Structure 1
Amino acid sequence: MLTQERQNRIRQYLSEQGRVLAADLVAEFRVSEDTVRRDLRELARAGHCRRVYGGALAPAPDGGSIAARVQTQPGAKQRLGRAAAALVQPGQTVFIDAGSTNLEVARALPRDMALTVVTNAPGVALALADHALCTTMLLGGLYDRGKGACLGAATLREVRQVYADLFVLGACGLDAGMGVTALDPGEAEIKRAMIEQSGQLLIAATSDKLGTVAPFRIAEAGQVTHLVVEPGMREDLAAAFAALGIDVSTAD
């Protein structure tokens, strides 16, 4: 089998299964481990996979700027937002960080619910402007227009002054083995701090983020308390998340 044929097959497996094991590829293609490692290295260099110990995972999708992401899969994100908002309890203090799905979570929060929302995303704060019973705290810092978030040392200091009941986290990638990951190190740092200051962790994620990995680690997957997903999640992913004790619910 030619190199291009092998790599096309590997890309197909990544698309269908989200991961490949080097040992399986060696056996299937009847080539050496060095050949498979070279294939994975070339695919990773081209952005088609993320190499991990023993194989590779599909890379987390990069949807671009927040302005672009809010235009992508709006219906799915609205459904996820409504399902995630239903898990928020009256009287809670809740971190909601930046993200197009998290924006829909904020929009779906009941207008007659008394709660406190702490966010580093001006868009989330604006979405709550007409929620009369919601106290909204907008964290300061250096505003990143592309991400729609305040980041940096000042934001980090303010996060550490808050103790929240729940953190609604916008994840770039989520895999049972590799954990919760982000595409940007600055965002990952803020997310890690919010986790440290929170009692529970909720993620609402579109299907293209499940079983994928981004470069910067945020948390172990087992730290996630609630996971809200679209219908039709792959059975292997559902089993892996359930084995970690994560409460998985589907957005209808």
Structure 2
Amino acid sequence: MLAAERRDHLLGLLAREGKIVAKEVAAELGISEDSVRRDLRDLAAEGLCHRVYGGALPVSPAVADYAARAGVTPEGKRKVAAVAAGLVRPGSALILDGGTTALAVARALPPELDCTVITHSPTIVAALLDHPRAGLYLLGGRIFKHSAVACGAAAVEAAQNVSADLCLLGVTGVHPDAGLTTGDAEEAAMKRALAARAAETYVLASSEKVGAASRFRVLPWADVAGLITDADPRHEVLGQLAARGVEVLAAG
């Protein structure tokens, strides 16, 4: 099989199965695992897959810059946001992550809701300035422009001094094996710090993130209360998560 044919085969397998196991592909095609790994390196360099130990997973489209992500599945994000906003109770304290889905949550909160919102995102604060009964706390630090949030040591330290009833957390990848992932190490650390300060953490994931993975792990599934997604309830990944005891809240 020619290199171009192997490439097409690998991309087709990734689309159909949601993963590539190098050992299995090598046996199927009668080639060495080294050849498969070289092909995967080439595909990863083009941004067409995310390499993991033993193979590859679909790459998340949510690793694009902030402005580009705002145009990715906006209706799906609004559906997820509507369900997430319904979890915020009057009088409660909410830790709201940054990113485009979290911004949709801020916009979905009822204007007269009496609550406290703690965030490391200036865009979230700006979206809630006209909510008269919402107390706003902005955690500061170095601004990570890719997601318009504060990250780094100062931001993590600030997060360690707050607490909340609920954390709504955004990620770029949702996968049964890779877990919850994102594309930047410092941002992943900040997300962990935020989730650790809430009684419950729910993950916000529009459909394009389900089954995908990014480079840095945020949390294992055992550390979250559930997942909010507009992905098809019949999606294989959601079935696998439900089998592991993960609560999936449908935002259809």
The TM-score normalised by the length of structure 2 is 0.92
Identical-residue share of aligned pairs (%)? 38
Instruction: Measure, in 1, the Cα distance between the counterparts of 2:38 and 2:234.
Output: 29
Match of 1:114 in 2: 114
Instruction: Return the letter of the residue paired with 1:21.
Output: V
**Structure-2 change in CA distance of 1:50 and 1:68 (3 Å):** closer
Instruction: Measure, in 2, the Cα distance between the counterparts of 1:121 and 1:238.
Output: 29
Matched-pair contact (CA < 8 Å) for 1:222–1:245: no
Tell me the CA shift for residue 148 of structure 1. Answer: 1.1
For the pair 1:17 / 2:3, whether they are aligned, the reply is no
Tell me the CA shift for residue 119 of structure 1. Answer: 0.4
Instruction: Return the letter of the residue paired with 1:40.
Output: L
Match of 1:152 in 2: 152
Instruction: Return the letter of the residue paired with 2:123.
Output: G
Partner of 1:169, secondary structure, is strand
Partner of 1:162, secondary structure, is coil
Match of 2:5 in 1: 5
The list of structure 1 runs, each at least 4 consecutive aligned residues, that deviate by more than 4 angstroms after superposition, is none
Tell me the CA shift for residue 248 of structure 1. Answer: 0.6
Match of 1:95 in 2: 95
Match of 1:83 in 2: 83
Instruction: Return the letter of the residue paired with 1:112.
Output: E
Instruction: Return the letter of the residue paired with 1:57.
Output: L
Write the deviation string for residues 151-194 of structure 1: whole angstroms up to 9, x where unpaired. Answer: 22221111010112211111011111111111112211111111
Partner of 2:155, secondary structure, is helix
Matched-pair contact (CA < 8 Å) for 1:222–1:244: no
Match of 2:175 in 1: 175
Alignment of 1:28-177 (within 5 A): 28-177=28-177
Which 5+ residue runs of structure 1 have no aligned equivalent? Answer: none
Instruction: Return the letter of the residue paired with 1:11.
Output: L
Of stretches 39-48 and 3-12 in structure 1, the one that deviates more from structure 2 is: 39-48
Instruction: Return the letter of the residue paired with 1:101.
Output: T
**Structure-2 change in CA distance of 1:65 and 1:224 (3 Å):** same
Partner of 2:170, secondary structure, is coil
Tell me the CA shift for residue 63 of structure 1. Answer: 4.7
Instruction: Measure, in 2, the Cα distance between the counterparts of 1:143 and 1:27.
Output: 47
The TM-score normalised by the length of structure 1 is 0.92
Matched-pair contact (CA < 8 Å) for 2:102–2:170: yes
Alignment of 1:180-219 (within 5 A): 180-219=180-219
Count of matched residue pairs: 252
Write the deviation string for residues 129-160 of structure 1: whole angstroms up to 9, x where unpaired. Answer: 22222111111122233321122222111101
Instruction: Measure, in 2, the Cα distance between the counterparts of 1:141 and 1:103.
Output: 19
**Structure-2 change in CA distance of 1:169 and 1:41 (3 Å):** same
Matched-pair contact (CA < 8 Å) for 1:174–1:221: no
Tell me the CA shift for residue 242 of structure 1. Answer: 0.6
Instruction: Measure, in 1, the Cα distance between the counterparts of 2:51 and 2:146.
Output: 27
Of stretches 116-125 and 216-225 in structure 1, the one that deviates more from structure 2 is: 216-225
Query: Once superposed, what is the RMSD of the aligned Cα atoms?
Result: 1.8
